[in-house]
Chain A
Amino acid sequence: MEALSLVTRESFDAVMRMYTPTVYGIAWSRLSNRADAEDVTQDVFVRYFGADITFESEEHRKAWLIKCAVNAVNSYARSSHFKHSARFEDIDTLADIAADDDVARNAENKELHGTLHAAVMQLPPKFRTVVHLFYFEDMSIAQISEVTGERPATVKTHLSRARDRLRKLLGEVEL
C-alpha cells in the first residue's frame, strides 16, 4: 500500500468498489473464465492507478476504464497464454462457433444451454463485447464506437448480426 501514497485508501476502495463489476463484466463476457476475468480486472486497475490522469467527471472516468478494459481483454485474448490454455469450467463454451448453421446445433450441446450468457458466448468475440456494452452498460452506438475504436456503422452491423444469431439461438426474444 506504500505505492498508493498518491491515492488515498478511501479513493482506492471507492473506485475499486464502484467499477470492478463493470470491468469484470466486460472481461467475463468476452473470456468466459473467472480467473482470466480477474487477471484482466487487476491489470486494468493497475493501469488506472499507475496513470496520472485527471478525470473531468465520473462519466469520463467510467469511459476511460471501459476503454482500458476492452483493450486489455483484446490483448489478453490474443495472448498465447489464453489461446493455448485449457479451461475446464468453460471448455464447452469455447467450442467451435464457426458457421451460422452450426450455431444452433452447438448451442444445444452446451451445458449452459438455455441461458443468455451461453447464447452470447456462441457469438464471435467481436460481437460479444458490442452486445455486452449495448445491453449491460446501456451504451449507445456512438459510445460503443468511441470505446472500441470501430466506426458507428461497423458497430451497428455487428450488433445487428449478433441479434440475428441470438434470435436463432434463443427463438422468439425481444432484442
Chain B
Amino acid sequence: MDFREEYKSEMNSAMPDEQAMERIRQGVAEKLAAPKRKPFPVRRVAAICGSAAACLVIGFTAIMLTAGNRFITSGGMNMAPSALRPSTESLAGGADMGTQNICTPNMDGSYLGDQNGGDADMNNAPAEDPTKPAGAVNDEPPSENRDENRGDDADSAPQYSDGKSNSDNSGSLEHQQPENFWGCSTTVSFSEGMITLTINGTVRRFEAISTSGGGGGSEDSYYEMPSADETNIMPANPEDNGTPTAPEVNGGDELIEVTADSGELLFVKTDGGKLWLYDAELELLGMFVEIE
C-alpha cells in the first residue's frame, strides 16, 4: 500500500463539496464586506495611564522630599524627645530649642546689688573692655546708668516664668512649640548666679562666668549675675586676656530664639558645657559654664 496515494485519495474525498465551497465563499465575502471594527487601543490607553501614574508618583515624591527637606532644615528632626537622643549634649544643635520657657531669676535687690554696673565686682573683664586681662579689677565706678539698672529695679524686671510657653513664635515651623510638637519641654531658670536648664526632666546647671551688662540697658540687668563661687571664675577664652568670646553667630552656629516672660526676645547658644546668652541685637549678655 502506497501511503501517499492512499492518503491523497482519502483527503480528496474529504474535500468540501460545492455547497461547502459556496458557504465558505459567502462567508469570506460577508466578512470582507462587514465594516472593520476598530480595535480597542490597548497600547495607547496603557501609555496614557502609565504616564499619568508616573507623573503622580514623581509629583508625590517631590512633595514628600520637599516637605522632608524643609522639616530637616528647620531643625524639626532634632525636636525628637530626649529619650530618643544619644545624650543631652545634642542641645548644642541649637535648632531643637526653637522656643523655651524662660524662668527669670529671683531678683531681689540684695542679691544683685553689688553685681550690676559693668561687672565692677567681678574679677573678670567686661565684654566692652577687651584690653583688660582676665582677673583685672575694674576700677571704674559704676555709672549712674548702671546704678539705675540694678537688680533691685524690680519694676523693670520681668516676672518669673509660670511655665507658659512662648506663643509669639508659634507661627512658623521654625517656631514650633516643642512641648506641643514632640511633647518635650525645655525650661531655663535663673537662681543665685546659676542657670538651670531643664529638658524633659534632665537638669543642667550653668554658672555665670561672664556677663556684659555694663553698658547695657535696663533689660540686661537681671541677667548679669556673678559666679556663685568666684574662685571658679574662669575666662571664656584665656588666650585673649579673659575677654569672653562670643560664638560665631555668622559662622553657621544656630542661636535658639527664646522669649522671656516679659516678652523680651533673647537668644541662647549651647555648646557642650557652655552656654551663651544674647539679646535681640545678638550682643552677648553673658557666658555660663556647666556645673558638674
Contact (Cβ within 8 A) A24 B3:
no
Inside 8 A of B20's CB, which chain A residues have their CB?
Answer: 34, 38
Interface SS majority for chain A: helix
Contact (Cβ within 8 A) A20 B4:
no
Inside 8 A of B2's CB, which chain A residues have their CB?
Answer: 174
Which A residue sits closest to B27, measured CB to CB?
A42
Tell me the number of A-to-B contacts counted with CB atoms below 8 Å.
Answer: 82
In the assembly, what is the distance between CA of A13 and CA of B24, in Å?
A: 11
Number of interface residues of B (CB under 8 A): 25
Contact (Cβ within 8 A) B28 A117:
no
Contact (Cβ within 8 A) A25 B11:
yes
Q: Does A82 contact B (CB under 8 A)?
A: no
Q: Residues 20-64 of chain A: 1 if any B CB is under 8 Å from the residue's CB, otherwise 0? A: 110011001100001000100110011001100000000000000
The stretch that binds B, out of A1-9, A66-74, A96-104, A147-155, is A1-9
In the assembly, what is the distance between CA of A62 and CA of B53, in Å?
A: 48
Contact (Cβ within 8 A) A49 B10:
no
Partner of B25, one of A3, A16, A117: A16
Q: Does A95 contact B (CB under 8 A)?
A: no
Q: Which 10 A-B pairs have the closest CB atoms?
A: A42-B27, A3-B32, A3-B33, A45-B28, A46-B31, A135-B4, A135-B7, A116-B7, A21-B15, A175-B3
Interface residues of A (CB under 8 A from B): 1-4, 12-13, 16-17, 20-21, 24-25, 28-29, 34, 38, 41-42, 45-46, 49-50, 115-117, 120, 131-132, 135-136, 166, 170, 172-175
Sample of 18 A–B contacts (CB below 8 Å):
A3-B29, A4-B29, A21-B15, A21-B16, A24-B15, A24-B16, A24-B24, A38-B16, A38-B20, A42-B27, A42-B28, A46-B28, A49-B32, A120-B7, A131-B7, A135-B4, A174-B2, A174-B3
Interface residues of B (CB under 8 A from A): 1-4, 6-8, 10-12, 14-16, 20-21, 23-25, 27-29, 31-34
